[in-house]
Structure 1
């Protein structure tokens, strides 16, 4: 396009500045999603303009009389050569957006969408809402964490737009330039049609497109993105898009930066559109100044009719010259710069088909973090430990100027641990104030991961280094307290040890070479192990417990190995058996007295020793088939306490010693036996000595018997024999009887009496004192039998056997209680009879227990119980309960028949006895035999028939019952004792 030699079309307007600039030439480029730059060459009659005053002024380059032009800020100003009258100046117009390239930052945005992040950055630069707009069709999710990492604000915005597939362009006017963001084709304005005319060198009357060429180029045909969400680790997150073009050329990338499949599909589609955005691309040149990037061009009059369509202008390069503003020569390089272009306006453009969505190319990749970074754990004020359900923490980065070291300083960050799995854990949460080391997955600043902790000048190592360099420790601190816990490993040469400690109760387990704390000098305290606490302690082993000092060098045997102990127990058991047998032979014990003791000892020994060699491949060993507690030592066992000592057994108590058994008692030896006391000495005799006080033998109910093979000798100052009714002294066939009737001497030989004097002084009697023996008192036992719902069983029978073997029977009251009087003091056993209530009731079983909790695998049981109840509940047909009662009625009928059967059986038996008697009678008994047989056989046949009918009735009733659902097996449980004096036997489920 040309103008008259003395006519100008290009002019520059600068806001707030009076000037005489004339536009000599301009050259600039504008493109979608790029800040444009227009370089202008100006001339002015003023040789010394204030260049600094020009910078940042809004200016408008008008390209024609119709007002079309380019607006921008003076980004660059320069002064060139000067002629006699005119001086040349150069300025560059750029959008305000270009200024964002000069502000570089490191910061983070949390829970914001990309449009909101962009708007915030723009408005920080004074680009307010009237200077930009978003025309977006898609909905963009919040980015939980988005880091601007060592990027300029412009680079950051362009990167976000490229990642999301958002483009931007500018709309120019004399008053300003507006930044428009969009994500589809509808945001681009449509220009008036422009005709094509091949460049013939002639001047056209209207602006034309003079060249238009199309090219196609191979591009990616499909895109696949994949990612991972740790919150849903089993879900494969993948999104894909396919153009169905050949050949199949796929772009696959991981991670795709998405957490749900629709988002993945969206990003894959945007990526494919970006790849294929310039699959078809046309270029051309024209002299139409209305062409602008981000606008639709309608091409007309092209010989290829298919090209006469709508095209999107993605790039326009503008050039203009008007040398007529010069009245003198200033420079000679203008012609060279414009390639022979002398005067007027021209442009070079690039277009794509309108139907192909435009997506900006990835020219600004996300920066990668090279290596790890340091940060400090942060959280809300007053907290020491701050985390979420995944054990994630928040940190304050040292580069973050906006963070306040609180619970908003960063996104939740996962913490690497030594172990993390289902039922597997190695968790140590960094606490607020700790310095941590942060890594980034694939170098992505948006994917931080805490990988470790660091000491610094305030948080120093717990033990002084390098002095205590042999100590390795894991030490924690009480939450909002001052105490702590510690696992310490000491690798000091020849003094290695491990200690597990808790400040609560000063509890500790010390293993190895025991010392006082190393920081305090580490004085030796012994060798081996020490388990101690200032509070309570307990050792529990459900399968059995062995406490032994028998040596096992280098763990040579399995941990339950106890042959020495088992041999000693076997020897003791044999000793018990042999002495018990001898005691029975010597009539010191009655037969059977020690049989149960021996049986239990053998059973215990077998339970400790086990049977068979075990299975080494399964790590199974024979010992401890029952949970015994065995204490063993090759040297000795000492038990001591300044307080009471109580040894109790619910069964038998056996003491065995191959040497002496010695008891030294400071006060009295008190021994009580409920059912007899037997002492047997095999040899060397039995000696009972009282250094002071009486020796008192009493039989309160029966006799005292003394038996000696040789002599019985009594030595005392005085010996008194008293008998309440009669005293008999016998020896060698002679004897004397003393009773109320007199004294009778009996002998078959001589009777000799020696006396200095022998006097007969009349009759007299000597009355003795005979105290009444004390009577043992009677005890009382309280009974209570109850259902699982804790309600008492009404009027149930009971039977109590007391310590003396006396059996007491009775019935409970209406509340399930009763008190049994007259029972001997001591242990007793109670048995309860059948429930007298309706035994078809759902709660009618007599175990006084809370309903047991079900294991996790049996959580379906309650619903099964509900199903069972539904079966039991009455319905239109009467329900299972009614059918059960019908069954009970049938059972009663069967029972009645059974009673008749029993009577018939008795008659049959009687007849059979008559048959037997007849057989014994021989020939004479034949008539009687025939009569007995004729009556016995029909009776037996009738009994069998009645039994068959009764069984059929019960079987039929049982078949009519509906089938109950199968319940999973409940955990075993034991009924607790309801009384300190008795263990109650469980009642019946259904009586």
Structure 2
């Protein structure tokens, strides 16, 4: 039977249909491009009876395009059966044109692509963590583009590892997916599901997944005589020399010395290859095994990337092309060509690219490009350009713990950051992989690392611009984390290193005021200050150096320590330069030697002159671990308590003059002997009062004088007593007395001269005229100390005064620059003082000084008490009554510094109790009711406070008032306050007390914040362990009210002072009316607190019913925001305080 005649040039048989579009579409022509690892692209021209199809009827609609075989003559039985298409492409209409129109029809053109092509629209900035490449691709397809399981599938021979982090930076999802897949050698193609009428994306990584079994003969079409069978023709080959081998190397800081070098040659030395391709910094952490192949080779190792790269080179070694009439061809197929084909096609042809076209006046034709099939070389998509980040990206350091004051780092010192471009939601502290921090200095467990706390802005850079290799380049200040050295702060001449806990290294470069400060907040400001020393207001307070702390201090040097005030100008000299000190030691040695020799000659004890020699030898250049102190103008060691000098061997003191003074007793004790030697001016032992006792308890007592020896008693008798014998001897004359007789002997005459000589039972009294002696002196001279202050505790200076004692003595003087004066000795009599104040300014009233005339009692024992609050503040202007153990009750009022009067007694008497009352008039402070005049009794029986004779006139004892329980602000409370006050409040200084303010003595009936700290009495039930984490927004409202007073106090507003006048208005003090042009400074301190509290509850939390005062729930949010506008922009400005 003859072959049926094929009909050419009639391509209306190809069918195009669009979802939900019923009109008939007659295909005129089409042109298609298909390629492995790229979406296909078909441009189809058709006609339709509808003259003007709306774009939304076709655009972005699902469509399918079916390729049919040429029509044939069918038998009568098969003529009406549906003809099955050779191939159907499913996709979506991505382009639409109207080309022309006529009376009967219009001509159009659409572009058909797979749904995957839509992923090329748009761009993303995203992070993917702990996912493999296939998992990332699947995540994108499912989560962002609604792909389902039937829309795609992975059929892979390898299991790909999870990557720590992958960044999509300014890429479309399609470009990002294609790049990732190409990096690991995964290719994809498109097939169709005829049952579900949709396109399917297949992902493969091996040549085993090519579509095989496609055979076509090699022959050319010859017009009408061509056979019915499809074939191929115009076969071409292209060969080129490609790289022989691939060398790889990379560096991984987590295994810095790992061997990560390798090389691969897939061709095993083929002569058609040449050259080395060296790839550095491929993204692998393990080298792998170069002798493993195919699925045995672990993916994403060094040799894996090397093999992929060599396969890409070998894909270009031989390129095949040809033309076919078969509509069944598709990329990813292995085409076997029969007949007379070039030998390059012999092993099979892997189609990588297909270009098809047909029209009503042109037969179907498919031009293909291909590579030879190989069992060792698979098709690998070409690498796509990876985005390069030339600069840095902003991010913030992250932390899983909210408001953590410390850095969150891993065991390698790395940080997690939140990239500011990232819109995805992550758990805190897991927003990125761990990133290294670049530093100016690093080494093996040494370097420079200043930990970054959460919220710090950082600039993240990328190794070689690779988005997947980030590191923290540096940290930056921003509007919420301001620079501590600025022109605004007027410290731009300083170089400052300050940590979050205010540990500080500051170097001032102002010429003439250079200084260095190293300090920490611990132990009450422990500091080392060098150079020009200043206070917190940058006012000079000295120069040189200062090492200070309120805690313990220690100076320790294991090899020796030199403390010297001897000058070394401009640091010229040796570190241990001690010539001046050694000269003093040498001079001391000479004095000791000279005096020691004279003492021995005179019969005295010999001083140990080896001590200065030994000290000089040991301390010279600190050859031994000694302490040498030297000062040209003198050294003073003083203490109001005890002082002890102790030496294990010899204690030596050498000077021109040595004076020892003791107000009570002077005791010298020696275990062996005491020697006193005066070379020139004699020795005096004088006791103004009390007996003088000189005893040799177990040996002789010798009194020897070259000249005379006088023994006199001016007002009593002289007794010379001996148990055995007394001998008085002058030359050869003697008188001997023993218990039994008196013997008088003389070689000459013995004369007894007297106008009357009589024998009586006892001797007469000797009466000799002597010079009168000084009167007895007091044990301790009385001293009087004056201190004069105004109401603000500021000293009143240069004021004349007059002291009048009851015995008539009058003393006058002028207070010094500190408001002090002192007189000693003074009579043991009562006295009064009168200050002569200057005349007041015109129209200025005199201040009230009720204590200008004060009684100044003086006695042998006294004490003064100072009352302080729980945090060391002065308890000023409090009435008190002190009860002493002898029953006396002394009343008074504390001064501005919390001091009582001096309590004076003749004997030591203990204090038993102290009763206190608040100031008269009952002060009213922030949010507090008027306090009652209830006494506070402090038991002093166990405190051992008594009047004493130590430092009479100047001593004092501190009595602390009772403390309550207190805590610091919680992290969430700080976060809540920062929404309004930002960093205008030093939150570390704020304490929350679970109890009332001590000044109210338990009579407080609501919250109070008088001194920058919050007090919540137990009776009010207002206290919360965390005001930010309760179910009642009124707790937050009360907290925001009180933190406003903290803000006022820290900016310098006198909260206690104005609390009296403001809160005295009662409820009216809190009521406010908002104005359209009003500012926060227009309102008093209580109104400000109400406004800030209401703003937070109404505008921030959005719960008007949660305000503290329910009458305010109707306040306008717009007016609240406009009133606080300037304040919210700059809460640290004092201009926001009440005007």
TM-score (norm 2): 0.61
In the alignment, structure 1 residue 411 sits paired with structure 2 residue 415: no
Alignment partners' CA distance in 1, 2:7 and 2:374: 33
Alignment partners' CA distance in 2, 1:647 and 1:702: 31
Map residues 646-657 of structure 1 onto 2, 5 A cutoff: 646-657=644-655
In the alignment, structure 1 residue 502 sits paired with structure 2 residue 506: no
Q: Secondary structure at the match of 2:505?
A: strand
Residues 674/130 of structure 1: CA separation in 2 closer, same or farther (3 Å cut): same
- Residue 294 of structure 1, aligned match among 332, 336, 355: 332
Alignment partners' CA distance in 2, 1:11 and 1:426: 72
- Residue 175 of structure 2, aligned match among 151, 155, 171: 155
- Write out per-residue CA displacement over residues 524-583 of structure 1, whole angstroms, 9 at most, x where no aligned residue: 212211222222211111111111111111221111011111111012122222322332
Q: Secondary structure at the match of 1:576?
A: helix
Alignment partners' CA distance in 1, 2:678 and 2:368: 129
Map residues 806-821 of structure 1 onto 2, 5 A cutoff: none
- Residue 223 of structure 1, aligned match among 230, 238, 246: 246
- Residue 182 of structure 1, aligned match among 185, 204, 211: 204
Tell me what 2:685 maps to: 688
Residues 6/143 of structure 1: CA separation in 2 closer, same or farther (3 Å cut): closer
Map residues 72-471 of structure 1 onto 2, 5 A cutoff: 72-123=91-142, 124-174=144-194, 175-197=197-219, 202-243=225-266, 244-246=269-271, 248-262=274-288, 263-302=301-340, 304=342, 307-323=345-361, 342-362=362-382, 364-380=384-400, 381-384=402-405, 385-403=407-425, 406-462=428-484, 465-466=487-488, 467-471=490-494
Tell me what 1:638 maps to: 636
In the alignment, structure 1 residue 667 sits paired with structure 2 residue 664: yes
Kindly name which structure, 1 or 2, has the bigger radius of gyration based on alpha carbons.
1
Tell me what 1:528 maps to: 544
When the two structures are aligned, how many residues end up with a matched partner?
719
Map residues 821-900 of structure 1 onto 2, 5 A cutoff: none
Residues 560/100 of structure 1: CA separation in 2 closer, same or farther (3 Å cut): same
Question: Larger deviation: 224-233 or 548-557?
Answer: 224-233
Contact 1:96–1:127, Cα closer than 8 Å, also in 2? no
Q: Alpha carbon RMSD of aligned pairs, Å?
A: 2.4
Alignment partners' CA distance in 2, 1:317 and 1:163: 26
TM-score (norm 1): 0.69
Map residues 22-37 of structure 1 onto 2, 5 A cutoff: 22-37=26-41
Contact 2:248–2:262, Cα closer than 8 Å, also in 1? yes
Alignment partners' CA distance in 2, 1:763 and 1:128: 141
Q: 1:285: how far off? A: 1.1
Q: Secondary structure at the match of 1:640?
A: coil
Map residues 455-604 of structure 1 onto 2, 5 A cutoff: 455-462=477-484, 465-466=487-488, 467-478=490-501, 484-504=502-522, 505-517=524-536, 520=537, 522-589=538-605, 594=607, 597-604=608-615
Q: 1:740: how far off? A: 2.5
- Write out per-residue CA displacement over residues 34-71 of structure 1, whole angstroms, 9 at most, x where no aligned residue: 11111112123333334421223333322235533222
Residues 667/762 of structure 1: CA separation in 2 closer, same or farther (3 Å cut): closer
Q: 1:277: how far off? A: 1.7
Contact 1:470–1:491, Cα closer than 8 Å, also in 2? yes
Contact 1:103–1:152, Cα closer than 8 Å, also in 2? yes
- Write out per-residue CA displacement over residues 197-250 of structure 1, whole angstroms, 9 at most, x where no aligned residue: 256665123111223222221212222232222222233433432233455422
Q: 1:403: how far off? A: 4.4
Q: Secondary structure at the match of 1:145?
A: strand
Q: Secondary structure at the match of 2:622?
A: coil
- Write out per-residue CA displacement over residues 317-359 of structure 1, whole angstroms, 9 at most, x where no aligned residue: 1122334xxxxxxxxxxxxxxxxxx334443342332335334
Q: Secondary structure at the match of 1:111?
A: strand
Residues 422/74 of structure 1: CA separation in 2 closer, same or farther (3 Å cut): same
Q: 1:118: how far off? A: 0.4
Residues 403/600 of structure 1: CA separation in 2 closer, same or farther (3 Å cut): farther
Alignment partners' CA distance in 2, 1:305 and 1:534: 94
Alignment partners' CA distance in 1, 2:482 and 2:735: 103
Q: 1:160: how far off? A: 0.4
Alignment partners' CA distance in 2, 1:690 and 1:354: 123
Residues 701/633 of structure 1: CA separation in 2 closer, same or farther (3 Å cut): same
Residues 651/7 of structure 1: CA separation in 2 closer, same or farther (3 Å cut): closer
Q: 1:654: how far off? A: 0.7
Question: Larger deviation: 527-536 or 76-85?
Answer: 76-85
- Residue 41 of structure 1, aligned match among 39, 45, 49: 45
Contact 1:199–1:211, Cα closer than 8 Å, also in 2? no
Alignment partners' CA distance in 1, 2:155 and 2:185: 13
Alignment partners' CA distance in 2, 1:624 and 1:575: 23
Question: Larger deviation: 100-109 or 745-754?
Answer: 745-754
Alignment partners' CA distance in 1, 2:99 and 2:6: 27
Residues 6/284 of structure 1: CA separation in 2 closer, same or farther (3 Å cut): closer
| Structure 2, unpaired ranges of 5+ | 69-82, 289-300, 764-1139
Alignment partners' CA distance in 1, 2:366 and 2:484: 76
Q: 1:169: how far off? A: 0.9
Residues 761/144 of structure 1: CA separation in 2 closer, same or farther (3 Å cut): closer
Contact 1:184–1:357, Cα closer than 8 Å, also in 2? no
Higher relative contact order, structure no. (Cα contacts within 8 Å, ≥ 6 residues apart): 1
